[in-house]
Amino acid sequence: MKNQSPRQSVVQHLALLGTCLWAGYASAGPQEQALQIHSRLTGVKPEESVLVDMAEDIANGDATAAAYTAMENDAFYNVTLKNIATPWTNRDSNVFAPLNDYTASVIGTVRDDMDFREILYGNFLYLGDNGLGLPAYRNTDNDHYEALEAGGYSLKDNLVRSSQSSLTGLPADATAGVMTSRAGARAFLIAGTNRAMFRFTLLNHLCRDMEQVHDTSRPPDRIRQDVSRSPGGDSRVFQNNCVGCHSGMDPMAQAFAYYDFVYDADNDPEGENGSLDYNSAGDTDAQTGTRVKAKNHINSANFPYGFVVPDDRWDNYWRQGPNMYLGWSESLPGSGNGAKSLGRELASSRAFAQCQVTKVFEQVCLRAPEDAADRTRVDTIADSFSTGGYRLKQVYADTAVYCAGD
């Protein structure tokens, strides 16, 4: 036998170690696997009877049923789902933000096995049960949800689905799931030009920030007046940088032209008592003379020849060019009016499905997908998510089973 080099010895040792680790996982009994699945999904130990039921399902070859049993624990809703959704509700991605209508609506959608795409276009909100004696839902504060959280109530048992339009006064065709929730509006439609709503929806639900969709090949005809064409006196900055984001973002962010979050900036700078405001048909903004909110025309002197927003018509320029690989649905036209149809466009993309699966994978497996096997599994789960009714609970179950041996 030839003498081995030190490198060959190390490689053989690592291969043997990997074999042993896999063998350890493969030989793990149903009870150990049940404990791991329950821990990953809830963060708490199961009761003995629950552990026995889960282990029995695993022994019978149905680990998915065991995962669904784990998801009956209150902690899956009050902790796991709240922790994944709460950072989506604020610009700082703060997981410690209070419960609000955005977070509660995500949790309720998962609990009820609803089509998860509806969080970007549905006419619904989830409230705490009336029998709990909570403050009423109001457009001007978050007291209802803060009382629900402070009371320590089970979000699995005490969330009730309601029509958003009946609660907020928005026309049904102006509702767009969490984008038009009070918390969503307070975070992303406050001040500014409403581009934040588009950017953070893209970041939170398609896992892409603007730098990742930068494309200078799209036409700049819908870039608004507030964007200088010669920043710092150099037009090359606009052509090589600004165009890359604004040429695609501005035509889609136009969907929010009739929305604003109204608050007293002097006495309530954080907008804690502000509310979402919408210009319905027949309403006219005093400054624009149309339904378009004045915020869409600010800083018009930066480039007077830029695009002037006339309505809430949006177009997806990213259906061509490099961002076509976000996987836009061929069953949709790629254009429309208002936030609801834009939400459907975003939620029907392949990027939306992959983003949800990736976020769940990172939360449940405690790591990002890191090798070919992980990436293949994420794609497989995303396929099942897309073809199986977009049920996020199934994504959690599939992911927990896959990572049970980590």
- Contact, 382 vs 388, CB < 8 A? no
Residue 183 confidence class, pLDDT cut points 50, 70, 90: very high
Q: Judge whether residue 6 has pLDDT over 80.
A: no
Q: Judge whether residue 2 has pLDDT over 60.
A: no
Percent of the chain with pLDDT over 90: 92
Q: Which of 384, 322, 325 is nearest to 353 (CA)?
A: 384
Residues 6+ apart with CB under 8 A from 158: 128, 129, 132, 148
**Amino acid (1-letter code) at residue 47:** E
**Amino acid (1-letter code) at residue 240:** N
Average pLDDT over residues 352-357: 98
List phi, psi (to 5°) of 159. -105, 135
Q: Judge whether residue 256 has pLDDT over 90.
A: yes
Q: Judge whether residue 30 has pLDDT over 90.
A: yes
Average pLDDT over residues 333-348: 98
Residue 279 confidence class, pLDDT cut points 50, 70, 90: very high
Residue keyed to tokens 């920043």: 231
Residues 214 and 211: their CA atoms lie apart, in Å, by: 5
Residues 316 and 365: their CA atoms lie apart, in Å, by: 34
Average pLDDT over residues 159-163: 98
List phi, psi (to 5°) of 335. -160, 165
Q: Judge whether residue 22 has pLDDT over 90.
A: no
Residues 6+ apart with CB under 8 A from 52: none
**Amino acid (1-letter code) at residue 110:** V
CA atoms within 13 A on the CB side of 299: 10
Q: Judge whether residue 200 has pLDDT over 90.
A: yes
Residue 351 pairs with which residues in a beta bridge?
Answer: none
The DSSP secondary-structure symbol of 3 reads P
Q: Judge whether residue 23 has pLDDT over 50.
A: no
- Contact, 51 vs 31, CB < 8 A? yes
The DSSP secondary-structure symbol of 277 reads E
Average pLDDT over residues 281-308: 97
Q: pLDDT tens, 124-138?
A: 999 999 999 999 999
Q: Judge whether residue 326 has pLDDT over 60.
A: yes
H helices of 254-349, where? 338-347
Residues 6+ apart with CB under 8 A from 297: 225, 287, 288, 308, 309
Q: pLDDT tens, 53-78?
A: 999 999 999 999 999 999 999 999 99
pTM here? Answer: 0.92
The DSSP secondary-structure symbol of 247 reads H
H helices of 112-153, where? 143-150
The reported pLDDT for the residue numbered 5 is 45
Residue 405 confidence class, pLDDT cut points 50, 70, 90: confident
Instruction: Provide the mean pLDDT of the chain.
Output: 93
